[in-house]
Amino acid sequence: MTAEPAADRHRARPVDLAEAPEVQRLLDGLGLGRLLPDRVVSYNGRNDNWSGTTTHGVDVFVKRLGGPAADAARRLRNLLAFEELLATAPRTAGGLRGPRCLGWSEADLLVAFALVPSAVSGAERADAGDFTDQDAFRVGAAIGTLHGLDHARRTALDTSPPPLPPTAPLTALPLERHRTASAAELRLWSILQQDEELAAGIRALREREAEADPCPVHGDFRLDQLLFTDEVVHLLDCEELRRADPARDIGAYVGEWLHRAVGKLPGPCEGTGSDPAGTAPSTREMTGRATRELTRTRPLIERFRAGYASAGTALAPAVRERAAAFAGWHLIDRVLAQSVQRSTLTPVQRAALGIARTLLLSPAAVTTTLGLED
């Protein structure tokens, strides 16, 4: 079957296969044939990737891990560790799937997966308003299953500490980062550095996660790391897989919905970068509107929680609280991601920071509002 991938996930132009001969070499070596260069498409992502049907009729997705080689090698090992975890998972762990891994090359930092045909990402589903309670349950079950795997720690996982949230830049931004940051990013770091309570909240979260009973976590969860077909949900991109606090993934899921709820707020100057005096709603107004938006997404968090519980792990109160705080960090992380190459923070982004602050400073007070608790 020839894949018909969703058009808007495509990047305009894949990296020319002639400049990446190792891709064909890998596919050839795996006995899968070769990609037809003029039929190849590429999806949006941090790493380069190539998809298409090979000369042997196999639909493949190949990704090349970019960035500094040592770090790319670490991330490749993490992707492979996910495969190992899945392979050793009990049969009952049926709720957790990833695209089938077809092979990899450590030397070329490449990994090939079966292309998931006719799939939509979780982010696309959410954007289209099609993300159902049932989807939320399935995602919760997948994450809960992942978190319940390998209690015996047979699979060796990445032992490096998770890089986020960073604490050093809360004191001072490294010179190189300062030099390359946009004005909006610098503004955001300056807010974080000057708000002592908020900075302390972020530091406290990093200390509190040490109390967690570590389990395999995705570590970079977002809705675009999910791929839905009619029958299954696939978890993608486990490059930051580690044994860590389960609250990280749960908080990221909650944070994704918060980010979307806040993003729907009608900011008068959204996206324009201007902020004429008197037209911007106050943070309080924004928070009120965000709370109303959130009521609509609360069931998606409740159903996620039910799915998570169905995989056999209940959320302990301390995990719920840390998840609320990680959701706060996720909001900040999303604003940071939006600030690259921007000159100002929009009122909506400032509102997001206000909400993040509440979550990081008083997580226990918001678990019920968020749907992390009845």
Ligand X SMILES: Nc1ncnc2c1ncn2[C@@H]1O[C@H](COP(=O)(O)OP(=O)(O)O)[C@@H](O)[C@H]1O
Q: How many whole angstroms separate alpha carbon 273 and alpha carbon 347?
A: 9
- Residue written as token pair 């100002």: 344
x/- map, 44-73, Mg ion, by CB under 5 A: -x----------------------------
Tell me the closest approach of the beta carbon of residue 227 to ligand X, in angstroms: 6
Dihedral sign, Cα of residue 100, residue 82, residue 146, residue 63:
negative
Specify the residue, 9 or 243, whose C-beta has the smaller distance to ligand X. Answer: 9
- Residue 237 interacts with Mg ion (CB under 5 A)? yes
Partner whose footprint covers residue 367, from Mg ion, ligand X, none (CB < 5 to 8 Å by kind): none
Q: Which stretch binds Mg ion (CB under 5 A): 25-33, 41-49, 57-65, 148-156?
A: 41-49
Burial class (CB in 10 A: 0-12, 13-18, 19+), 153: exposed
Specify the residue, 45 or 214, whose C-beta has the smaller distance to Mg ion. Answer: 45
Q: How wide is the angle at C-alpha 355 spanned by C-alphas 219 and 308, nearest 5°?
A: 40
Q: How many whole angstroms separate alpha carbon 204 and alpha carbon 188?
A: 19
Specify the residue, 114 or 183, whose C-beta has the smaller distance to ligand X. Answer: 114
Instruction: Please count the residues of the chain.
Output: 374
Tell me the closest approach of the beta carbon of residue 142 to ligand X, in angstroms: 15
Q: How many whole angstroms separate alpha carbon 231 and alpha carbon 364?
A: 36
Specify the residue, 59 or 321, whose C-beta has the smaller distance to ligand X. Answer: 59
Identity of the amino acid at 264: K
Q: Which helix (H) or strand (E) holds 279?
A: none
Identity of the amino acid at 316: A
Specify the residue, 79 or 372, whose C-beta has the smaller distance to Mg ion. Answer: 79
Partner whose footprint covers residue 35, from Mg ion, ligand X, none (CB < 5 to 8 Å by kind): none
Tell me the closest approach of the beta carbon of residue 26 to Mg ion, in angstroms: 20
Tell me the closest approach of the beta carbon of residue 91 to ligand X, in angstroms: 23
Tell me the closest approach of the beta carbon of residue 193 to ligand X, in angstroms: 29
38 by DSSP, 3-state: which? helix
Tell me the closest approach of the beta carbon of residue 57 to ligand X, in angstroms: 16
- List the alpha helices (DSSP H) in 149-227: 175-180, 183-194, 196-208
Tell me the closest approach of the beta carbon of residue 256 to Mg ion, in angstroms: 13
Specify the residue, 43 or 257, whose C-beta has the smaller distance to ligand X. Answer: 43
Q: Which helix (H) or strand (E) holds 114?
A: strand 110-114
Partner whose footprint covers residue 27, from ligand X, Mg ion, none (CB < 5 to 8 Å by kind): none
The separation between CA 201 and the C-alpha centre of its own chain, rounded to angstroms, equals 22
Q: Which stretch binds Mg ion (CB under 5 A): 66-74, 144-152, 235-243, 339-347?
A: 235-243
Tell me the closest approach of the beta carbon of residue 364 to ligand X, in angstroms: 33
Partner whose footprint covers residue 217, from ligand X, Mg ion, none (CB < 5 to 8 Å by kind): none
Q: How many whole angstroms separate alpha carbon 70 and alpha carbon 160?
A: 13
Partner whose footprint covers residue 253, from ligand X, Mg ion, none (CB < 5 to 8 Å by kind): none
Q: How many whole angstroms separate alpha carbon 162 and alpha carbon 154?
A: 21
Q: Is the previous residue joined to 216 through a cis bond, with omega within 30 degrees of 0?
A: no
Tell me the closest approach of the beta carbon of residue 99 to ligand X, in angstroms: 3
Q: Among candidates 306, 304, 148, 160, which has minimal Cα distance to 214? A: 148
Q: Which residues bind ligand X (CB under 6 A)?
A: 9, 43, 45-47, 49, 61, 63, 99, 113, 115-116, 119, 121, 224-225, 227, 236-237
Specify the residue, 223 or 353, whose C-beta has the smaller distance to ligand X. Answer: 223
Specify the residue, 237 or 321, whose C-beta has the smaller distance to ligand X. Answer: 237
Q: How many whole angstroms separate alpha carbon 244 and alpha carbon 360?
A: 19
Q: How many whole angstroms separate alpha carbon 326 and alpha carbon 249?
A: 8
Task: By CB under 5 A, name the binding residues for Mg ion.
Answer: 45, 237
